[in-house]
Chain A
Amino acid sequence: MKEPTADEFIVEENLVLTLYISGMSQKSMEAIDNLKWLCDKYLKDSFELEIVDIYKDPKLASEQHIVFSPSLLKKSPLPKKTLIGTLSDTKKVLQSLGIKIKK
């Protein structure tokens, strides 16, 4: 099967994302790699991404209700979603972020 290219995906609105990681853990690193790859491939410039290390700001973990690490929060567009784990399930990630395949 042919790999879909960037312009075959529709992103209706700019995605506002925050990735919460816990230091340099293996899972955190994997999540960063997976997300970067995904954004480069499918999102181009239509997203804002902030990466927060909860080790450096532990208070934030409670304020943002972080339980699982890594956690990717999609704040906008609604509905809000929290993607937990290494983001290795690309299909599920795209679906959860609301990225649709152009027919």
Chain B
Amino acid sequence: METLLKTPTGISGLDEITNGGFPKGRPVLICGSAGCGKTLFAAQFLVKGITEYNEPGVFMTFEESAKDLTQNFESLGFDFEKLQAEKKLRIDHVRIERSEIEETGEYDLEGIFIRLNYAIDSIGAKRVVLDTIESLFSGMENMILLRSEIRRLFTWLKDKGVTTVITGERGDNSLTRQGLEEYVSDCVILLDFRVIEQIATRRLRIVKYRGSTHGTNEYPFLIDENGISVLPVTSLKLDYKSPTEIISSGLPRLDKLFSTGGIYRASSTLITGNAGTSKTILAGHFAMSSCKRNEPTLFFSFEESPDQLVRNMATIGIDFEQAIKSKLLHIQASRPSLQGLELHLMVLHNLLDELKPRTVIIDPISSLITIGNTNEVRAMLVRLMDTLKKKQVNALFTSLTYDGQSEFNNSTIDTVSSLADTWIDLRNEALNNERVRSLRIVKSRGMGHSNNQHDFIISGKGFQFTSPNKK
């Protein structure tokens, strides 16, 4: 059997879900209610096709004029005028003055066929967008005739070998008002825009994709100044490089607990502990060691404001203020519930691109768990870890555990512990008349490590180990 060739969509994340893109040379139906991003979706497919894959495209618009389209997409950096001048893009506005039209007998849509054919051939187009062809139906009497013509058009486009994106408005009981999904059997994508717990989310689902495996979930997508991004924006692959360089955890005494004298660069470290076990302080030391190496550091704080974090760190001799002034440290603080999970991830992705940090700290990662279901969070964290590894970023996550739960029986631990290369557990136990803080290394991949419990105190200089350092 012939394998199905694919056309990359140019929409980040979508190619991963579809295992390579849309079916090459076939029609794809994109449906959804008004304002869900159909036209943008189609436009991005076309523009990225031109700019990234050198595939000229034809945009046949049934609703907006070429001028309106050009203006609307200017803000996204889609330069329709330039692309038209370069003969890479053709926009044909199919304007129908319904009031001037009288049906006087049987007709066909040969006008559309000829216009499309002309536009496609004149620039050697490989991609076509029909947005929104269903508007042809409004006010027309002979629906049966129109339907059969539309069916003929889709077949013709297939024969022509162009990959076509057809947009359709969501109907009451069907995916599209005129049931276009009956005619487009190869690939149907449904866009959705809804508000869940006051958070507006856009979602995408592949309803069908004949002859291809595809992700079957609903995937969140975002529209920002770069256009549409479907999450996951990165793929799940275990193909990143693993550096052998050793970096400091920020505490010389802690480094000595590892046989390598520190942790690997671009590894991920998990710090777990109950409330008040100094997780954030350890994270602070980690951040400072990165700043000392002159490496940009990104600190995600889900519990404290940047100001509060700076103030509190200063009391134990960790000078965040200086690090911020020298632009090495960036603190991004937000309440986890303020945005949807995907938005947090998106903010993180954008900051990764913008600041190019070498170290990322998320304090605490358990806050994110409260805003999504465990599966969703886990999938997100896995992708996040992969992204960080791919970019060779040192990662540190803190995670809050609760009294009474064993370290192996906690949703956060379940979610992230297998992803962490190094796992440090902190405790704060009542012994006699005092509370004793202690640290244990649960695991550390690729190196020997201490198996002892190491007591420490928090002083004006931060973390200080009190027990003798045994190997």
> Which A residues fall within an 8 A CB radius of B?
20, 22, 25, 27, 30-31, 34, 54-55, 58-59, 61-62, 65-72, 79-89, 92-93, 96
Contact = CB atoms under 8 A, between A and B. Distances in A.
A69 B108 contact: yes
B125 to A, nearest CB: 14
A54 B108 CA distance: 13
B102 A54 contact: no
B107 interface: yes
A34 B115 CA distance: 26
Interface residues of B, number: 24
A86 B111 contact: no
B240 interface: no
B451 to A, nearest CB: 77
A89 B107 CA distance: 12
B112 interface: yes
Contacts of A71: 107, 111
13 contacts: A58-B114, A67-B94, A67-B96, A67-B111, A67-B136, A68-B109, A72-B104, A82-B102, A83-B102, A83-B104, A84-B103, A84-B107, A86-B107
A22 B107 contact: no
A62 B104 CA distance: 22
Given A59-B118, A61-B115, A62-B92, A54 B104 contact: no
A82 B104 CA distance: 10
Contact of A27 (B97, B102, B108, B118): B108
B197 interface: no
B95 A65 contact: yes
A34 B106 CA distance: 12
B239 interface: no
B100 interface: yes
Contacts of B106: 27, 85-86, 88
Given A59-B118, A85-B103, 15 more contacts: A25-B108, A27-B106, A30-B105, A54-B111, A54-B114, A61-B111, A68-B108, A71-B107, A71-B111, A82-B101, A84-B101, A86-B106, A89-B103, A92-B104, A96-B104
B453 interface: no
A80 B100 contact: yes
Given A67-B136, A86-B106, A81 B100 contact: yes
Contact of A93 (B104, B110, B118): B104
Q: Considering residues A20, A83, A86, which has the most beta carbons from chain B within 10 angstroms of its beta carbon?
A: A83
A62 B96 contact: no
B117 interface: yes
A22 B95 CA distance: 19
Interface string B114-148: 11011100000000000000001000000000000
A33 to B, nearest CB: 11
B104 A65 contact: no
Nearest to A88: B105
Top 10 closest A-B pairs, CB basis? A86-B105, A85-B105, A69-B110, A58-B118, A66-B111, A22-B110, A88-B105, A85-B107, A67-B111, A96-B102
A65 B103 CA distance: 16
Nearest to A63: B115
B243 to A, nearest CB: 58
A5 B103 CA distance: 25
Contacts of B114: 22, 54-55, 58, 61, 66
Q: Considering residues B92, B100, B104, which has the most beta carbons from chain A within 10 angstroms of its beta carbon?
A: B104
A27 B105 CA distance: 9
A19 to B, nearest CB: 12
Given A67-B94, A67-B96, A20 B111 contact: yes
Nearest to A67: B111
Contacts of A79: 100
A6 B297 CA distance: 90
Contact of B108 (A22, A81, A82, A88): A22
B105 A31 contact: yes
A28 to B, nearest CB: 8
Contacts of B136: 67
Nearest to B102: A96
Contacts of A27: 105-108
B416 to A, nearest CB: 57
A53 to B, nearest CB: 10
Contacts of A93: 102, 104
B95 A69 contact: no
Contacts of A83: 101-102, 104
Contacts of B94: 65, 67
Given A58-B114, A59-B118, A81-B102, A70 B107 contact: yes
Given A61-B118, A62-B92, A67 B109 contact: yes
Contacts of A31: 105
Nearest to B60: A62
Contact of A86 (B101, B104, B109, B117): B104
